[in-house]
């Protein structure tokens, strides 16, 4: 059984009142087996990592499981973490790699006939969500985003959902800031081509 299996990662008790400790400070405490510090770190990022995984995997349940895997991985490697104010990039990089691996495994299993991949997970056309009038624009953009290649989908999510600067995006995708900027630019062009005229205004 995994070392962290007994921890309630997201529902653990908060740390004591006072100024919020930095990510690096929490990881330094976690490296000394301070579980409360690590739970605080998880609470800080879990929702964002889960949303990112959902965008890549297009599956809510699998995204939840993958987010847990990301934090389990960080816990296992807690003593190897080197402080430098880059915990956010560190987490999103691990999440990206885990999701890529899971997607490859899922594709192989589907190709071998071991799993059935629902059609709506492979392609979500914009008109599939038109009935949700109160969230129509958001749903259309999300559906179009899911249809983009990962090389565009990831930078766009990091830029416009997470609000990351290009330098941080570059760290996550393993490219230069210039390349990250280029992928966001061309990703927006591709996204616009998938959206109906009324959404674009």
Domains in the chain and their CATH numbers? 1-122 (1.10.1740.10), 124-195 (1.10.10.10)
Contacts of 51 (CB under 8 A, 6+ apart): 63, 161
What value does the mean pLDDT take over residues 15-24? 76
HSE value, Cβ hemisphere, 13 Å, CA-based, for 111: 6
pLDDT at 159 over 90: no
56-78 in b/e form (b: 16+ CB < 10 A) is bbbbeebbebbbbbbbbbbbeeb
pLDDT at 51 over 60: yes
C-alpha dihedral over 49, 51, 53, 56, to 10 degrees? -140
Tell which wins on pLDDT, 129 or 27: 27
pTM of the complete model: 0.65
The reported pLDDT for the residue numbered 146 is 80
Query: From CA 199, how far away is CA 3, in angstroms rounded?
Result: 48
- pLDDT tens digits, residue range 104-148? 766 555 543 444 445 444 444 444 333 334 345 666 677 778 888
Tell which wins on pLDDT, 62 or 7: 62
pLDDT band per the 50, 70, 90 thresholds, residue 101:
confident
């Amino acid at each position: 059984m995994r070392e962290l299996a007994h921890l309630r990662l997201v529902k653990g008790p908060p740390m004591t009142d006072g100024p919020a400790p930095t990510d690096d400070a929490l990881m330094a405490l976690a490296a000394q087996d301070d579980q409360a510090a690590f739970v605080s770190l998880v609470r800080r990022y879990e929702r964002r990592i889960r949303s990112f995984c959902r965008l890549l995997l297009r599956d809510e349940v699998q995204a939840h499981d993958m987010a847990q895997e990301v934090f389990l991985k960080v816990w296992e490697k807690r003593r190897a973490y080197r402080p430098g104010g880059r915990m956010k990039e560190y987490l999103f990089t691990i999440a990206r790699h885990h999701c890529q691996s899971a997607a490859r495994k899922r594709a192989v299993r589907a190709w071998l006939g071991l799993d059935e991949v629902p059609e709506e997970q492979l392609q979500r056309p914009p008109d599939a969500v038109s009935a949700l009038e109160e969230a129509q624009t958001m749903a259309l953009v999300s559906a179009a985003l899911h249809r983009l290649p990962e090389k565009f989908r990831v930078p766009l999510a990091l830029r416009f959902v997470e609000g990351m600067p290009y330098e941080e995006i570059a760290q996550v995708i393993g490219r230069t800031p210039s390349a990250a900027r280029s992928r966001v630019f061309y990703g927006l062009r591709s996204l616009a081509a998938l959206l109906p005229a009324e959404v674009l205004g």
